[in-house]
Amino acid sequence: MEDQDDPALPGFDLDRFTPYRLSVAAERASEGLARLYRARFGISVAEWRVLAHLEHSGNVSVRDIEARVALEKSKVSRAASRLETAGLIAKAVDPADRRLLQLSLTPEGRALMAEMLPVALGFQAEIEARLGDALAGFERGLQRLLDDMEDKDDPSA
Amino acid sequence: MEDQDDPALPGFDLDRFTPYRLSVAAERASEGLARLYRARFGISVAEWRVLAHLEHSGNVSVRDIEARVALEKSKVSRAASRLETAGLIAKAVDPADRRLLQLSLTPEGRALMAEMLPVALGFQAEIEARLGDALAGFERGLQRLLDDMEDKDDPSA
DNA sequence: GGTTATTCATTGCATTTGCAATGATGTCAA
DNA sequence: TTGACATCATTGCAAATGCAATGAATAACC
């Protein structure tokens, strides 16, 4: 009986609040992944995203990555700098538009990705195993959220 | 033809990587909520969580909140201090165990929550609307992730 | 061509964050 | 009781973050 005398409040339960649940799940997942990457490869989540995008998409600019990978451009920039220092990616000025950078994996970066990918896929498999038969429904919902939110980001309204 | 000559790499797609998807969805949702709370009430997400938990659970210690609300204890502590300064919560030393604090809503805090709850519920409703018939499956999956990850947090192994 | 806006990447700087003390209490056993 | 250890909240401090310049390059317009 820890209720005080408030007849009005409907007894809100954070545990049933989807944004909160989503946030906790995401945090935990990212944290787990981050732990793996940091311990085994010395790579942060931002760096991982940049690498993964480069592996997938060849030469890209910082702006491209920012858009495609949900990372602040300053975060991308700094991640890229660290990766370059580590010899994992190369920066080149785009000859067609010299404001743009062309980021690309070095052979070392490519080799590291070859090591990291199995870890990533293993992590993914683990999540899928946990989800079990809820996987399809979950991914479907997630997709809806991602689709709908695509541009809700920029509330010019 | 942006493929270089790498026969081995399986063409990993970040967009199909659940941790990433989860993280983006969560970030966007939290950001949307944060925008509402900040603009209309001057409250951060951490502060919102503390308030929500207090509204739900009466007197609680910082440690309780840390555990129940997925917030670092220093974050809780600082959020609580700001809320106290704002006159929204009260801190009292637990007479039974003077290491503990008893956080509780002040009338002002209670009043603010009464204003914020409809906004929260509206946000929740919006998400549910977006999910549509995918809602149940999504929440089911989310729940599995949350259940399973409950204690994976502390890898003493 | 010359001038003004845009776009891009980086960086300065204030704020936030997370982690490791710190100090204040409490527990337990000798 | 005393002393060693555990728990709680706070805080110091270094690192990360986000936002707003900054400077370089291009585009657009006249």
Judged on CB neighbours under 10 Å (0-12, 13-18, 19+), A83 is: buried
Whether the pTM exceeds 0.85: the reply is yes
Overall CATH class of domain B46-117: mainly alpha
Question: In this complex, is the C-beta atom of B56 within 8 Å of any C-beta atom belonging to chain A?
Answer: yes
Overall CATH class of domain A44-125: mainly alpha
Confidence band, pLDDT 50/70/90 cuts, at residue B74 = very high
Contact A146 B19 (CB under 8 A): no
Between the CA of residue B88 and those of B50, B77, B103, B107, B112, what are the distances in Å? Answer: 11, 14, 10, 7, 8
Q: Is the pLDDT of residue A66 over 80?
A: yes
pLDDT digits (tens, 9 = 90+) for B131-155: 999 999 999 999 999 986 554 343 3
> Could you state, in order of their start, the residue ranges of all structural domains in chain A?
44-125
What's the CA gap between A5 and B44, in Å, rounded? 27
CB atoms within 10 A of CB A13: 13
For B22, the enclosing helix (H) or strand (E) is helix B18-41
Strand D nucleotides within 7 Å of a protein CB: 7-12, 16-20, 23-27
pLDDT at site A149: 58
What's the CA gap between B61 and A59, in Å, rounded? 51
Rounded distance in angstroms from the CA atom of residue A94 to the C1' atom of nucleotide C4? 25
Q: Is the pLDDT of residue A153 over 90?
A: no
Amino acid in the structure at residue A66: E
Q: Quick one: which of A61, A112, A69 has its CA closest to A87?
A: A112
Report chain B residues whose CB lies below 8 A from the CB of A117: 9-10, 12
pLDDT at site B148: 67
Question: In this complex, is the C-beta atom of A8 within 8 Å of any C-beta atom belonging to chain B?
Answer: yes
Rounded distance in angstroms from the CA atom of residue B25 to the C1' atom of nucleotide C4? 40
